[in-house]
A and B are shown apart, each in its own frame.
Chain A
């Protein structure tokens, strides 16, 4: 364990319904302002009035990327912001030492939808955009933009993808495979995802209220989160600011059900335990957990039970931030990891927006109001279809003996 290089976060970039920058995101959180709004991206008879975490503005204009999908634009925007935030330049690293690992599910699904619609109407169907439909396209675009010719992967672990991508990023640095990893997640709204979750009766008609007694489901969102990971030694050598130490991660599978979580949250509990073990910390060291907290009937109690099983009668402060930006699928774990790091930096706990009365079946007391707090160690948890779970654990700079 001691020989393992510390993996630190030196840059972050974000886009979600809560904003296009770290500051906009945190401002929304501090002010308790939800980014959920009526869908405007496409017409939908059944889902058009459901509040969604739709990103406002023109993603293509923001990214400056010629062509590409909505997901590609989000990914490039967030990656560029993270790259700048880390103070990286092409001179900082050899091309084959830079890696990109993004979680992604839907990619350019809007192109697939458009193509099939035209085919169905017997119109001329142009296949050119179909090459951009693959979810790996966003990862490629980011690698091309920064000339990163090292390891490249698109992780598709459902809604646990973002956290899993961060774990893989750690693996790459620890294995000596990369010096810098751009890791995170991206996804964008489309008809398949919205109608899919709605067909499962998982979408709330009035916006998600995680852990609330009257919660009626989730709110689908979109966006991207990208973190720059590198070894602490390298970060110090190039004089980079360290935002946090990604000290531990855990990844498990429930092997229980194709879409529902194991009701006692056993798989998630194990993922969080592994993250603590990886970090060499006891449960009592954790000050805050950014929960997956979708607001669905099944997720919230399972997650709460997992937290109680691991942390006991006095768990750390917990909140779900899903009502700020909706559930951004593969991007969720990355966006929420960034929020977790921001919480450590700003020494404040994001509120569990939308919470009025905690469901009596939920053995937790999520933090309902924004509040300052001393936070040294924080965790972000994610669950996904198929029973995929991931947990990542961050420590605030100054809470460990840093490399000189």
Chain B
């Protein structure tokens, strides 16, 4: 990956859920309980798109459009991405419009095959988000959808930077998005990933959730406008490296040394010392059984760089495969403003002026990533 994935970020925008989990009744066929989750609040939901436009769109599409619009609006003095072949789209989404896919299937089950509704089928195809972005904004360049769990956004980011590096586009619009649907909540609760405690997540804090309470699901979207390094005079930040890998085992046992090796590889790729990193932003999700790996990695890194500040963000988003995109947006803002955004919770250290942010994520399935954003 090394230097080839460097790209300047000239626009960034995010769509985050409301500040606290919202509880809904679980489907009666599954459980008689209340399920909390980080969901878009009513005002954000209503603002996604004018009703006429949203009629045939799934929520994921509308969320992606809103995030991209915010990123474009944020471009400031930089040239915004133009319609036509010069703008590529690269989307990371694990489940895309699974909501519409499930509606399609439920109609088949309830009403028989005569219940098959074409619009839900068309939306069920995972590139519906990327192609809707192309349709809405007129972007006719390379158009790619990555649907690989917690590697989705990172792959999209790598590909966006690669397209620019190869001179195949002037702008790459990169987006990570996930729209929470009930089916995913069912899945996660049956597998014991999610708890019923409606208290907000507090990753890496002393206020641990009770054992077995897992984490809480969430949703959101973040989008970025990328250009080749140096193409614009005053980018917000520079993506220096993105390194993402999957496990070679089903249900892997995570090891601190493997995780540290990934981070060290990213630092080497970026030709960067740990001491120059102003903030380590991690994807800890508040699950006490899982946060320990983050705690260990942070401890080991702080042992080498005492001043390293450690921050978390999933108390803002809940847990979902492409939440790293929202973490990335916070990292870009931190570098652009030379200060940690107030929403980020600092759990170790006291950050000063931020020139560089290292993002680190790992999932229980063994997908892990390290990304470095620099001034």
**Residues of A close to B211: CB separation below 8 A:** none
Instruction: Let me know if A144 and B248 touch, CB within 8 A.
Output: yes
Give the distance in Å from the alpha carbon of A207 to the alpha carbon of B162 in the complex.
41
Q: Are A130 and B116 in contact (CB under 8 A)?
A: no
A388 interface residue (CB < 8 Å to B): yes
Kindly identify, within residues 219 to 265 of chain B, every residue whose CB is under 8 Å from any CB belonging to chain A.
244-250
| A105-134 contacts to B (CB < 8 Å) | 105, 112-113, 116-117, 119-120, 122, 125, 127, 130-131, 134
Is residue A89 within 8 Å, beta carbon to beta carbon, of the partner chain? no
Bound-complex Cα distance A154 to B140 (A): 22
B24 on the A face (CB < 8 A): no
Q: Is the CB of A195 within 8 A of B116?
A: yes
Residues facing B in A366-390 (CB within 8 A) are 384-388
A255 surroundings in chain B (CB, below 8 A): 83, 131, 134-135, 137-140
- Whether the Cβ atoms of A200 and B125 lie closer than 8 Å is no
Which of B73-81, B147-155, B348-356 contacts its partner? B147-155
Residues B113 and A136 in contact, CB atoms below 8 Å apart: no
Distance in Å from the Cβ of A21 to the closest Cβ of chain B? Answer: 28
Interface centre among B125, B131, B138 (most CB of A within 10 A): B125
CB-CB < 8 A to B191: which residues of A? 127, 130-131
- Pairwise interchain contact B131-A177, C-beta atoms closer than 8 A: no
* B142: chain A residues within 8 A (beta carbon): 251-253
Q: Is A135 positioned at the interface, with any CB of B under 8 Å from its CB?
A: yes
B190 at the A/B interface (Cβ < 8 Å)? Answer: yes
Q: How would residues 190 to 234 of chain A score, 1 for a CB under 8 Å from any chain B CB and 0 otherwise?
A: 011001111110000000000000000000000000000000000
- Contact residues of B between 113 and 129, Cβ < 8 Å to A: 113-114, 116-118, 121-128
A87 contacts B by Cβ under 8 Å = no
Query: A175: CB under 8 A from chain B?
Result: yes
B144 cross-chain contacts in A, Cβ below 8 A:
155, 157, 164, 168, 251
Check A153–B134 contact: CB distance below 8 A.
no
**A253 contacts B134, C-beta separation under 8 Å:** yes
User: What residues of A have a CB within 8 angstroms of the CB of B96 in the complex?
Assistant: 156
Complex Cα–Cα for A195 and B101 (A): 12
Residues from chain A with Cβ under 8 Å of B131 in the complex: 158, 253, 255, 258, 385-388
A177 touches B113 (CB 8 A): no
A247 in the interface, Cβ–Cβ < 8 Å?
no
In B40-92, the 8 Å CB interface with A consists of 56, 83, 85, 89
CB-defined contacts of B183 to chain A, threshold 8 Å: 112, 116
Task: Contact check, B101 vs A192: say whether CB atoms are below 8 A apart.
Answer: yes
Question: Which residues of chain A are near B249, meaning CB under 8 Å?
Answer: 144
Compute the total of residue contacts between A and B using a CB distance below 8 Å: 211
Q: Which of A142-157 contact B (CB under 8 A)?
A: 143-144, 147-157
Report how far A130 CA is from B94 CA in the complex, Å: 14
Q: Is B102 an interface residue (CB 8 A)?
A: yes
Give the shortest distance, in Å, between A72 (CB) and chain B (any CB).
Answer: 12
Query: Chain A: how many interface residues by the 8 Å CB criterion?
Result: 69
CB 8 Å contact bits of B164-198 with A (1 = contact, 0 = none): 01100000000000000001001100110000000
Given the known interface contacts A46-B113, A125-B190, A153-B151, the answer about A177 and B140 at a Cβ–Cβ threshold of 8 Å is: no
Contact check, A196 vs B118: say whether CB atoms are below 8 A apart: yes
Binds A, one of B104-112, B199-207, B278-286, B307-315: B104-112
The answer to whether A176 and B245 touch across the interface, beta carbons within 8 angstroms, is: no
CB neighbours of A149 from chain B (8 A)? 245-246, 248
What's the minimum C-beta distance from B79 to chain A, rounded to whole angstroms?
Answer: 19
Would you give the shortest CB distance from A332 to chain B, in whole angstroms?
14
Residue numbers in A under 8 Å from B166 (CB-CB): 171, 174
Asked if B118 contacts A192 (CB within 8 A), the reply is no
User: Judging by beta carbons under 8 Å apart, are B127 and A147 in contact?
Assistant: no
Query: What's the Cα separation between A121 and B138 when bound, in Å?
Result: 45
**Closest B-chain residue to A44, C-beta based?**
B113
Is A54 in the interface zone, CB < 8 Å from B? no
Task: Give Cα A266–Cα B124 distance, bound, in whole angstroms.
Answer: 25
Given that A155-B144, A177-B1, A196-B116 are known contacts, is A385 also in contact with B134, CB under 8 Å in the complex? no
Cβ-closest chain A residue relative to B95: A134
CB distance B245 to A96 under 8 Å?
yes
Chain B contact-residue range equals 35 or more
Which residue of chain B has the shortest Cβ distance to A190 in the bound complex? B105
CB closest chain-A residue, reference B156 = A153
For residue B30, CB closer than 8 A to chain A, the reply is yes
**Cβ of A252 and Cβ of B141 under 8 Å apart?**
yes
CA distance A148 to B249 in the complex (A): 11
Question: Once the chains bind, are A198 and B116 in contact (CB under 8 Å)?
Answer: yes
Which chain B residue lies CB-closest to A136? Answer: B148
Among A45, A131, A177, A255, find the residue whose CB has the most chain B CB atoms closer than 10 A.
Answer: A255
**Distance in Å: Cβ of B141 to nearest Cβ of chain A:** 7
Q: Hey, which chain B residues are within 8 Å of A303, CB to CB?
A: none
For A154, the chain B residues whose CB sits under 8 A away are 146-148
Tell whether B26 is near chain A: CB-to-CB under 8 Å. no
Q: Tell me whether A270 is interfacial, beta carbon within 8 Å.
A: yes
Min CB gap A123→B, angstroms: 9
A380 to B16, CA, bound (A): 41
Q: Contact check: which of A44, A136, A259, A384 meets B147 at CB < 8 Å?
A: A136
B148 touches A152 (CB 8 A): yes
CB distance B134 to A127 under 8 Å?
Answer: no
Bound CA–CA A112/B130 (angstroms): 24
The answer to whether A119 and B162 touch across the interface, beta carbons within 8 angstroms, is no
Q: Are A144 and B109 in contact (CB under 8 A)?
A: no
By beta carbon, the residue of chain A nearest B143 is A253
A19 within 8 A of B: no
| Inter-chain contact B117/A199, CB cutoff 8 Å | yes
Nearest CB on A from B98, distance (A): 9
A95 and B248 contact, CB distance less than 8 A? yes
A135 to B126, CA, bound (A): 10
Cβ of A307 under 8 Å from chain B: no
A254 interfacial by beta-carbon distance below 8 Å? yes
Among candidates B30, B127, B148, B244, residue contacting A158 with C-beta atoms closer than 8 Å? B127
B145 & A116 in contact (Cβ 8 Å cutoff):
no
How far, in whole Å, are A157 and B93 apart by their CA atoms in the complex?
12
> Quick one: which of A130, A148, A154, A198 has the most chain B CB within 10 A?
A154
B333 CB within 8 Å of chain A: no
B339 at the interface (CB under 8 A from A): no
- Interface status of B375 (Cβ within 8 A of chain A): no
A119–B190 alpha-carbon span in the complex (Å) = 12
Q: Is B25 an interface residue (CB 8 A)?
A: no
Whether A147 contacts B116 by the Cβ 8 Å rule is no
Task: Assess the B121–A192 pair: CB atoms within 8 A.
Answer: yes
* CB-based closest 10 A-B pairs: A386-B131, A196-B121, A253-B143, A127-B190, A156-B126, A199-B116, A136-B148, A255-B134, A156-B147, A46-B113
Of the A-B pairs whose beta carbons lie under 8 Å apart in the complex, a sample of 28, sorted by A's number, is: A45-B112, A105-B125, A116-B105, A120-B29, A125-B29, A154-B148, A155-B145, A168-B159, A177-B4, A191-B105, A195-B113, A196-B104, A196-B124, A197-B121, A198-B116, A251-B143, A251-B144, A252-B140, A252-B141, A253-B140, A253-B143, A256-B135, A258-B56, A259-B122, A270-B85, A386-B131, A388-B131, A388-B143
Beyond the given A156-B126, A386-B132, please list 7 additional residue pairs across the A-B interface where CB-CB is below 8 A.
A105-B126, A136-B149, A149-B246, A157-B144, A171-B159, A257-B135, A386-B125
